[in-house]
Chain A
Amino acid sequence: EVQLVESGGGVVRPGGSLRLSCAASGFTFDDYGMSWVRQVPGKGLEWVSGINWNGDTTSYEDSVRGRFTISRDNAKNSLYLQMNSLRVEDTALYHCARTPRGEPGAFDLWGQGTMVTVSS
């Protein structure tokens, strides 16, 4: 089955860290760029970070740059998001999503998400 499955979310204090993972299956992982998109429950979607097919190009939304690090391991068909210096406003459901390699592309497959709660 073609799917993305996130894990690693949880409850953390402000200033803490978490590492999210996204396991891909059913397709050739390195045919795709990958992104993390977050969603406050009941609210809209916000792109957080993206990485190209081989990991040599990464990008970040301004509010997370310098605190979050995206990476991937194509041998393990996995995407990661290292989240440091977490803030209350980072609380959200974090989805991973894929986009076809090459030209800019829409996200044609999403995971269900993993919840991150930052609270004291």
Chain B
Amino acid sequence: DIQMTQSPSTLSASVGDRVTITCRASQSIRTWLAWYQQKPGKAPKLLISMASTLESGVPSRFRGSGSGTDFTLTISSLQPDDFATYFCQQYKSFYTFGQGTSLDIK
């Protein structure tokens, strides 16, 4: 089974900050990686697939990078709407999610 380790688990930041979330796979997943955003009481929303492909309608301040085992999600200038929980997911072999990063207002 492929394990996904995401960090940090919590992150406090201010509007306008640049933040980075990392995700590490236990074995190479090439670029079979997605990032999701989830707000309380809502379904997860796909932000990025194939490690770096932004989904339609997702603001360009979101950027995904990486390949193999190490990946990052960067939000270049936090907006109020970005405070949420973020999950990574591998889909090379079935599906495994990272533990999540709760991004809250400092």
Contact = CB atoms under 8 A, between A and B. Distances in A.
Interface in A44-60: 44-47, 50, 59
A42 B34 CA distance: 20
Interface in A99-120: 99, 104-113
B87 A44 contact: yes
Contact of B43 (A50, A61, A95, A105): A95
Interface residues of B, number: 21
A21 interface: no
A78 interface: no
B99 A105 contact: no
Query: Which of the four size classes fits the interface of chain A?
Result: 20 to 34
B94 A107 contact: no
A71 interface: no
Nearest to A59: B94
B92 interface: yes
A102 to B, nearest CB: 12
B42 interface: yes
A110 B41 CA distance: 13
A112 B42 contact: yes
Contact of A44 (B32, B45, B97): B97
A110 B46 CA distance: 9
Which of B36, B42, B44, B87 counts the most chain A CB atoms within 10 A? B44
Interface of B: 32, 34, 36, 42-46, 49, 55, 87, 89, 91-92, 94-100
Interface of A: 35, 37, 43-47, 50, 59, 61, 95, 99, 104-113
8 contacts: A45-B97, A46-B97, A47-B97, A61-B94, A107-B46, A107-B95, A108-B46, A108-B55
